[in-house]
Amino acid sequence: MELNSKVRIGLFGVGLDTYWNQFSGLKDRLNGYLGLIENKLQMLDAEIINLGLIDNADKAFTAGDRFRAENIDILFLYVSTYALSATVLPVVKKANVPIIVLNLSPEANIDYTVFNQMDDRTKMTGEWLAYCSPCAVPEIANVFKRCKIPFFQVTGMLENDEHVESEIKEWVEASRVAKVMYYNRMGVMGNYYGGMMDIYTDLTLLTSTFGGYIEVLEMDELSALKKSVTTEEKQKKLDEISNVFEVEEDCVPEELTRAAITAVALDKLVAKYKLGSLAYYYKGTGNLENESTASSVILGNSLLTGKNIPVAGEFEVKNAHAMKIMDSFHAGGSFTEYYAMDFKDDVVLMGHDGPCHPTIAEGKIKVKPLKVYHGKVGQGLSVEMSIAHGPVTLLSVVEDGVGGMLLLIAEGESVEGKILEIGNTNSRYRFSIGARNFVESWNSHGPAHHCAVGNGRLASKIKKLGLILKIQTVQVC
């Protein structure tokens, strides 16, 4: 579950207390600018802790303690005018969260004519100091670098600057997703698909990188929960399936009932363990009850995925994380892999068997019966869909081979055209570098053969998430 997911933002400005008696009205003016920034942040559904202008060392130590006590997730520093780096470092060291330096001018430029016609050089200096935010940034950056404190910058204007608005919003959103991942409980049920070595994953490394908690589950428990499903619960789930999907006429009632019962059991399992994501695979060979459960999960897992609980098949835990990241950015996050290449249309066909993400489909999702699940045990109902046409982003969580993880990104387009109508998810993707170059570039970074796909262009946001998590991010297009 996405517990405690509202971002707690620390905000403070810096100035120099020596100025206040020298330049009348300057402090109030700079506090007003800080208030404009607070208003921007309040529009982003976050909790704001604004400690005002920090203008001497004593206030800096007090502010650091306060931000630590407030358990903030990200810290915005507004450099309002020249300020001593000694008034910044204690705050940032104690807060110990990602720091965004806001270098924002009151307007696009100083009105030089009006400025130079002022008849009081003290007032002129005060006016200049109100525009002097760039002055202290190199000093602050120098100290951060020497103290090995990562920092990030947003440079522009206080108002009417789309770049600034977008950057601030993306930093807050990336911080929120990092928080979602930190509190996420991922269930792992079953075992790896034997021999699929690219998906074998260090679970401790995964938790070290993203946070969260991994709940190890048994298929036996899911099978047992099916016995507790009431007639009313089963019918309610059948109604939900009918509303969400377009059920083909050759889907027999018995298979729909089997899928509905398993879907209810999945809901119970998710509620019991407070799961925010799930990775699963299970043959069930030699145990008919478990085989029936494992072969009837696709509809239920698709419904869960559409409710912000992404489910990854083939025990692909890295991809469950990729899907959760995409879903937390409100972009979907459907399980996919290469299906084929179309060199005539210069597109890559991608899809997968198993669950889909209902909220990002192009049109109604079809439910079709399959007599065989290719490469897997059993038969039953499956889903067929394409990702909504338009901009998309692919994301893979990759073990980098040197003890760490990286985020691999590609932006492209989901385009119209014929797909393989085989009862799986299936889409056509076009990339700016062409299908051939995309495939070779993507493969060169050694991802697993699965990835997550979502709506929209998310590379900038995901890169900020990578910076917050302190992991490498690579964009191929």
Along the chain (477 residues), what's the average pLDDT of each consecutive run of 10 residues?
A: 74 96 95 96 95 96 97 97 96 97 94 90 90 94 97 96 97 97 96 91 96 96 96 96 92 93 97 97 83 90 96 94 97 93 96 88 88 69 91 97 95 94 88 98 96 97 98 97
CA–CA gap between residue 227 and residue 394 (Å, rounded): 39
pLDDT at 48: 97
- Looking at the DSSP assignment, which residues form a beta bridge with residue 470? none
Domains in the chain with CATH codes: 8-181 (3.40.50.10940), 184-475 (3.20.14)
Long-range contacts of 416-422 (CB under 8 A, 24+ apart): 416/389, 417/342, 417/345, 417/347, 419/349, 419/351, 419/386, 420/339, 420/340, 420/349, 420/351, 421/384, 422/384
How many Cβ atoms sit within 10 Å of the Cβ of residue 22?
Answer: 12
pLDDT at 1: 39
List the Cα angle 156/160/162 in 5-degree steps: 65
Give Cβ neighbours of residue 279 (< 8 Å, ≥ 6 apart): 186, 187, 188, 189, 311, 312, 313, 315, 316, 317, 319, 320
Distance of CA 367 to the CA centre of its chain: 29
